[in-house]
Structure 1
Amino acid sequence: MEITAAVVKEKGSNFELTKVNLDKPGAEEVLVKIVATGICHTDMVARDFIMGAPNFPVILGHEGSGIIEEVGADVHHLKVGDHVVLTYGFCGECEICRTGHPAYCYEFFGRNFSGADIEGNHHHHELDGTDINDNFFSQSSFATYSIAHKNNVVAVPKDAPLEILGPLGCGIQTGAGAIINTLNVKAGSSVVISGTGAVGLSAVMAAKALSATTIIAVDINEERLAFSKELGATHTINSLKENVQERIREILPLGVQYGVDTTGRNEVINNTLASLAPIGELAIIGVATKPLELETNVFLTKGYKIKFVNQGDSVSAEFIPKLIKMYQNGQFPFDKLIKQYAFEDINVAIEDSEKGRTIKAVLLIDKYATSV
C-alpha cells in the first residue's frame, strides 16, 4: 500500500514527507494506522548517525499510537480496531525476556536499531522498489501507517486520548519506570532527579505518585525547574548557580535515598552519588558522550547501588496500561509535557525539541492523512 512517511535521506538532514510503499504485515505482525507519534531524543541521535545505525535513507519514529487495521495469522491477543501504543522490540523467547526483563533482550539491537527486521527484511520501499531502512524500534512510526511486531504492540483503553499516548512507549515509560520499577521508590522517601526533560519530569511525576516526600529536581533551566515544582518537585537546584552537593546536604543532612540521572554527564553523576545516603541507589538513564569516571575511593564504603536503565525496566504490556490508569486517576498528568504539531511541521517540532522550547513534541499524523 502507498503511505506517507518522514524519510531522512542522509546523515543530519531534514525529515522529508515522502510517498513510499509499505508491505502487508507478516504472520506475527500487525498493520497500524498511526494517529500520533512522539518525538524522542533517540530519533535525533539516529538522524545524526551518532549510534552508527540504522543507515540511510531511513524512516524513524518510535513512540507511535494508533488503531489496528490488520493482524497476521499468528497474532491472537490483538484484533482489528484495537487502540494501541507501540513500544520497543524484543524477542519474548530468550532467557532475559522470559524472566521479565525484555528491555535487555539479547536481540534488542537487531530488533530496534538494525534498520530491518530480525531476518534482515524491509517493510518500506521507494516507489521504484528500492528498500528503505526501517523497523526502528520495530515500528518506524513517523508515517501514516506502521507495521509492528506483535510483541511491541500494547492494547490500551478506548476511552484514553490516543493522540497523546504515544510517548508512553518510550520516553515517559523510561522516566516513570526508573522510579517505579528500577528503584521502587518508597512512600515517605527522598529522591534527586538530574535533568528536567521529558524523561526527568516523568520521573518527578512518578515520585510524587509514589508519595516520596522529598523530590529534588536539578537542571540549569529556570523555566523547567519552576515547571518541575508544578509536577511535584519539593525542591529545585540550578547547578549553574548553586553547589549541588552542598544544597542537597542542606535539604537532607544525611543524604538522599534515591537518584535518577538523565544527563549522562560525569560531573552530574558524581555529584548525585556524593549526595546519596549510605546504601543509596542511583538509576542512570542518560546517554553519555564520554566514558563514565567514578570516584570509587570515596564511594566504595557507602554501599551504593548503580544501575543503568533501559526503557524504565518496563514490561510494557503491563506498565503502559498502569500509567494510563494513573493518568486517568489524576496521579500522573503527563499530558502537561506535550505540545502537538502537524505531521508536515515535523522539522519545526524537532528544532523546538532540540532547543528546549518543547518538552515532548507529538506529531498528529492521522489529521495529515485525512487531509490529503
Structure 2
Amino acid sequence: MRVQAAIMEKKDSPEGPYQVGIEDLELEGPRADEVLIRVTSCGVCGTDRHVLHDEMPMNPYPTPSVLGHEGAGIVEAVGEDCTLVEPGDRVVMGFPFCGQCVHCRSGRPIYCLEGEQLRYKGYRLDGSTPFQRLDGSPISGRFFQQSSWSTHTIALERQLAKVPEGVDHDLMGPLGCSISTGAGTVLEELQPRPGTSIAVFGAGAVGLGAIMAAQLTGAVTIIAVDTEPNRLELARELGATHTLVSSDDTIDAVRDLTGGGADYSVEATNRNLMVEAVAVLGVHGVCGAAGASRPTDKMDLYHQDIVEYGKRIVGVLGGGGPAPLNLEYLMNLHARGRFPIDKLIRFYDFADINQAIQDSESGQVVKPVLRMPA
C-alpha cells in the first residue's frame, strides 16, 4: 500500500546536519506474527534524536530510514498467527522482544537477548524491511520494530498494548518509551517504601513520568531537580513536594531536605548527572539510572561513596517490568485520573515534524506528539 513517512535521509556528519523529509513509500502487508497499523500519532523521543545526531556509535543506524518508536494507532490487518488483537483495536506500540529467550520467558521481555538488534538494527532479524521507495529501493523501516513516523506501519503483535475504552489513544503513544521509562523506574525497580524520599534529576518526559509514579507510592518527599523553572512548576503540579533549580548547591540542598540523604534517586536527564544522583543518596540509598544521555557517556564515581554507604545503582531500560502489560497498567491509571500524561504533551501536524524535533531538542516542549493525516 502507499503511505507517507518521514525519511531520515542522513544523520549528522562533517558534511552537514541530519535531514528529515516526508515522502510517499510502499509498505508491504504483515507477516504471520505482525500487524498492520494505521498510525494516528507518534511521539518524538530522545532516542530518535540520538540517532539523528549519530550519537550511537555502538549501534550505527542505517540510512535512509524511518524512525519513530512511540506510536499509537488502529489495527487494520493481522497476520495469520495473531490472536491477541484484531482489526479496529486501538493500540500503543511498546518495546519489541523475541518472546523466546530466557528473559522473555521469565517475565522480563524488556531485557530480551535480541532486544538491541530488534531496536537498533533497522530491519527484521532476517534483514528484511517492509518499506521501500516508489522506485523499489529498500528503506530501513524497523526502528524498535515499528518505525512509526509514518501514516501506516508494521509491528510485532507481541509488542502491542490495547488502549482501554474511554482513553484517547493519541495521548498514549509516549508510553511506548520515555514516560513509561520514568514511571517504571519508580514503580517496577525502586518501589519506594512508605515514608521515604526520592530525588528526580530531570523534569523532562522521563523525569516527570517518575514524579507522577512516585506520587502513587509511599514516598512522602518527592524532589524535582531541573534547570528550567517552568518544568519545575509542572513537576510540582504533578506531585513533587519540593523543586530545585540545578546548581552547585543541589547536593547539599537535597541532603538538607531529606535529613542527610535521599532514600532513592532517579537520573532522568540527557546531561549525565549520575555523580549528583548518587551523591544525594543516604545510607543504603538506591539510584535508578534511566536518563537519555549519549550511549558513550561515562560516570566517574568514588568507590568509598558506594561501598561504605551501601549505595546501589540500578540500570533501567524502558522502565523494566512486564512489557507490554506495564503500558496497560499506566493507561488504566490515566483513565482514573491518577497518571495525567496529557499535561506533558503538545501536538504537531505530521508536516511540522522538523519543528517538533527542534522543540524537543531545545526543551521548549516536554513531549511533542505528531498527529498523522487521516
Local SS of the residue matching 1:273: helix
> What are the ranges of 5 or more consecutive residues in structure 1 without an aligned counterpart?
none
The aligned residue for residue 360 of structure 1 is 367
What percent identity do the matched residue pairs reach?
38
- Deviation of 1:49 after TM superposition, in Å, equals 2.0
- Deviation of 1:256 after TM superposition, in Å, equals 0.8
State the distance in 1 between where 2:25 and 2:165 align. Answer: 30
* Counterpart check, 1:261 vs 2:264: no
- Contact kept, 8 Å, 1:185 with 1:258, in 2: the verdict is yes
* Counterpart check, 1:7 vs 2:3: no
Cα RMSD of the aligned pairs, angstroms, is 1.3
* Counterpart check, 1:191 vs 2:198: yes
- Contact kept, 8 Å, 2:50 with 2:56, in 1: the verdict is yes
State the distance in 1 between where 2:38 and 2:218 align. Answer: 38
Name which of 151, 162, 175 aligns with 1:144. 151
Name which of 256, 261, 275 aligns with 1:250. 256
Q: Deviations over 1:129-175 (max 9, x none)?
A: 10001100010000000100112111221321011110011111100
Q: After alignment, is 111-120 or 206-215 more displaced?
A: 206-215
Local SS of the residue matching 1:209: coil
Please show how residues 211-360 of structure 1 align to structure 2 within 5 Å: 211-240=218-247, 243-263=249-269, 265=271, 268-286=273-291, 287-288=293-294, 289-360=296-367
Q: Deviations over 1:289-311 (max 9, x none)?
A: 43221111222111111111100
- Contact kept, 8 Å, 2:96 with 2:118, in 1: the verdict is yes
- Deviation of 1:116 after TM superposition, in Å, equals 0.4
State the distance in 1 between where 2:51 and 2:279 align. Answer: 33
- Deviation of 1:262 after TM superposition, in Å, equals 1.3
State the distance in 2 between where 1:24 and 1:304 align. Answer: 50
Name which of 73, 80, 83 aligns with 2:90. 83
TM-score (norm 1): 0.95
Q: Deviations over 1:33-89 (max 9, x none)?
A: 001101101111112222143211010000000110000011111111111000111
The aligned residue for residue 125 of structure 1 is 132
- Contact kept, 8 Å, 1:49 with 1:55, in 2: the verdict is no
* Counterpart check, 1:34 vs 2:34: no
Considering fraction of residues, name the structure with more helix: 1
Give the number of aligned pairs.
Answer: 365
- Deviation of 1:22 after TM superposition, in Å, equals 0.4
TM-score (norm 2): 0.95
State the distance in 2 between where 1:55 and 1:329 align. Answer: 41
Q: Deviations over 1:253-303 (max 9, x none)?
A: 23111110013655x322222221211111001224432211112221111
Dislocated runs of 4+, deviation >3 Å: none
- Deviation of 1:204 after TM superposition, in Å, equals 0.5
- Deviation of 1:324 after TM superposition, in Å, equals 1.0
State the distance in 2 between where 1:342 and 1:211 align. Answer: 40
State the distance in 2 between where 1:350 and 1:270 align. Answer: 29
* CA pair 329-232 structure 1, distance change in 2 beyond 3 A: same
- 2:370 maps to amino acid: L
State the distance in 1 between where 2:362 and 2:249 align. Answer: 25
The aligned residue for residue 51 of structure 1 is 56
